[in-house]
């Protein structure tokens, strides 16, 4: 396991170098647990619409393993599922550095990476290794910055990863690709979901069914939430929403000197706003789509709050930067205890009980 010493050394490096060192170490297997303890049966869940089977609901959010290099070691840390990407059709370098900032005073992160990744060719060669997957491995697809038809990039991504990933995510909510979030607007979203849906139906016919999710931003008002929910429900092929990506908002509570850096804010300050948006979607959707809650999770109580707000599963990233991957086991233990304390025998019973 990654030790406290290893973690404090990584935390002394600039954040992007620390991330690169972590990926390199994981690739060689350094610090990776050999065996993962079995999950308690109370944490098992089958997502009702997508049918995704999870031995526990704690997932690794997109952005950590952009190139599908380390999903197997990350599963070994006890994640119930891992989402790789965002991958774009062509490789791209992303924005100029520095583009990743720790805000320790706020237990937060700001990033403006801009979809730096090796492109679909590399990604598919990595994700097609079946390996010993103890949980589903998702592929999060996006659009190149310079693409003239962004929707076509999602279609290209879907076709490339369909047969290799256990589920797909259409990421239209990164704040770091100018104009990308415009795909959340009603007309653009209808067009995207129609074209991706038609592609999915053909791929399903040729290769079999695959869960497809849409990842949205937390910076949405009630009208936008209602419109996205309606459009998502009318889509020809969509099983759920992932709520949410990072925020462009800067809450007044932020203390760290780097709070004015441009980009998406994640970590603790995102917990309440992203959970509020999740709850609003849950009320609109009434169980007709699966919900994965993301944003600010750093404890079992945080994960439980998302589940009570309607999430069937959750994901996290930023808390790993502060607490390391051993946090996963701790969150699972705390969640298991919280379910038992409230008299729930299974996780499904607790979903949406706080609405
Ligand atoms: C450095 C960094 C890179 C990210 N890259 C992506 C990405 O490529 N695609 C994506 O859908 N989300 C990306 N995210 C967003 C996370 O997946 C997640 O939605 C967000 O950080 C909120 O969760 P957290 O508070 O647990 O970090 C990134 C987040 C961070 C911190």
Q: 336-349: per-residue pLDDT in tens?
A: 999 999 999 999 99
Residue 355 located in a structural domain: no
pLDDT of 75 reads 96
Ligand 1 centre to CA of 267 (Å) is 9
How many domains are contained in the chain?
Answer: 1
What pLDDT sits at residue 90?
98
Cα–Cα distance list, 101 to 88, 146, 280, 323 (Å): 23, 25, 30, 16
Residue 138: which CATH number? 3.20.20.70
Q: Is the peptide bond before 98 cis (omega within 30 degrees of 0)?
A: yes
pLDDT band at residue 5, thresholds of 50, 70 and 90?
A: confident
Calpha distance 13→148 (Å, rounded): 38
Write out the residue range of the structural domain in which residue 264 sits: 4-350
Q: What are the tens digits of pLDDT across the range 210-237?
A: 999 999 999 999 999 999 999 999 999 9
pLDDT number for residue 35: 87
Per-residue model confidence as pLDDT tens digits over 290-335: 999 999 999 999 999 999 999 999 999 999 999 999 999 999 999 9
**pLDDT greater than 80 at residue 4:** no
Asked whether residue 56 is domain-assigned, the answer is yes
- Residue 1 pLDDT more than 90? no
Any domain includes 63? yes
Longest pairwise C-alpha distance within the chain: 53
Q: From its phi and psi, is residue 156 left (phi > 0), alpha (psi between -120 and 50) or beta?
A: alpha
User: How much is the pLDDT for 2?
Assistant: 64
Residue 111 alpha carbon, nearest atom of ligand 1: 1
Percentage of the chain lying above the pLDDT 70 cut: 99
Instruction: Determine the pLDDT at residue 190.
Output: 97
Q: Is 183 a member of any domain?
A: yes
Does 282 participate in catalysis according to the annotation? no
> From residue 89, how far is each of 126, 147, 202 by CA, in Å?
15, 10, 20
Pocket of ligand 1 (CB under 6 A): 61-63, 66, 85-86, 100, 109, 111, 113, 115, 140, 171, 174, 215, 245-246, 266-267, 270, 294-297, 316-319
Q: Whose CA is nearest to atom 2 of ligand 1?
A: 63
CA dihedral 183, 184, 186, 192 (to 10 degrees): 50
Return mean pLDDT, the chain: 96
User: pLDDT: is 10 or 294 the higher one?
Assistant: 294
- Ligand 1 atom closest to the Cα of residue 15 is 1
| Chain segment 147-173, per-residue pLDDT in tens | 999 999 999 999 999 999 999 999 999
Q: Are residues 85 and 140 in contact, defined by beta-carbon separation less than 8 angstroms? A: yes
Q: What secondary structure letter does DSSP report for 128?
A: T
Structure confidence by residue, pLDDT tens digits, 96-148: 999 999 999 999 999 999 999 999 999 999 998 877 799 999 999 999 999 99
CA 206–ligand 1 middle distance (angstroms): 32
In the chain, alpha helices (H): 4-12, 15-28, 71-76, 119-127, 150-161, 186-207, 222-234, 271-285, 300-308, 318-323, 327-341, 347-350
The residue from 174, 244, 266, 274 that is catalytic is 174
Q: Report the C-alpha gap between 23 and 69 in whole angstroms.
A: 8
- Among the ranges given (5-9, 36-40, 78-82), the one the predictor scored with the smallest mean pLDDT: 5-9
> Ligand 1 centroid vs 244 CA: distance in angstroms?
9
Query: Whose alpha carbon is nearest atom 12 of ligand 1?
Result: 62
Question: Which pLDDT band, with edges at 50, 70 and 90, does 76 fall under?
Answer: very high
What's the rounded mean pLDDT across residues 240-250?
A: 98
């Amino acid at each position: 396991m990654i030790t406290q010493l290893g973690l404090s050394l990584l935390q002394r490096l600039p954040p992007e170098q620390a991330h690169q060192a972590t990926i390199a170490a994981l690739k060689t297997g350094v610090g990776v647990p050999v065996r993962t303890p079995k999950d308690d049966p109370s944490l098992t869940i089958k997502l009702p619409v997508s049918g995704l089977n999870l031995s526990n609901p704690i997932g690794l959010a997109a952005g950590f393993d952009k190139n599908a290099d380390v999903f197997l070691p990350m599963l070994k840390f006890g994640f119930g599922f891992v989402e790789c990407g965002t991958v774009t059709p062509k490789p791209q370098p992303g924005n100029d550095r520095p583009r990743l900032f720790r805000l320790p005073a706020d237990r937060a992160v700001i990033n403006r990476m801009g979809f730096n990744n090796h492109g679909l060719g590399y990604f598919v060669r990595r994700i097609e290794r079946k390996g010993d997957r103890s949980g589903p491995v998702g592929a999060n697809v996006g659009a190149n910055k310079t693409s003239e038809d962004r929707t076509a990039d999602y279609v290209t991504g879907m076709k490339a990863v369909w047969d290799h990933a256990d589920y797909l995510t259409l990421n239209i909510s990164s704040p770091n690709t100018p104009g990308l979030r415009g795909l959340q607007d009603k007309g653009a979203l209808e067009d995207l979901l129609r074209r991706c849906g038609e592609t999915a139906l053909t791929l399903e016919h040729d290769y079999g069914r695959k869960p497809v999710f849409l990842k949205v931003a937390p910076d949405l008002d009630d009208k936008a939430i209602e419109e996205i929910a309606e459009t998502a429900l009318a889509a020809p092929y969509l099983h759920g929403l992932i709520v949410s990506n990072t925020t462009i908002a800067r809450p007044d509570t932020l203390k760290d000197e780097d709070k004015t850096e441009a980009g998406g804010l994640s970590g603790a300050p995102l917990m309440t706003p992203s959970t509020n948006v999740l709850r609003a979607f849950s009320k609109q959707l009434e169980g007709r789509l699966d919900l994965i809650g993301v944003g600010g999770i750093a404890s079992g109580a945080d994960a439980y709050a998302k589940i009570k707000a309607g999430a069937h599963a959750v994901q996290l990233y930023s808390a790993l930067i502060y607490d390391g991957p051993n946090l996963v086991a701790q969150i699972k233990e705390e969640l298991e205890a919280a379910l038992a304390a409230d008299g729930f025998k299974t996780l499904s019973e607790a979903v949406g009980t706080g609405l």
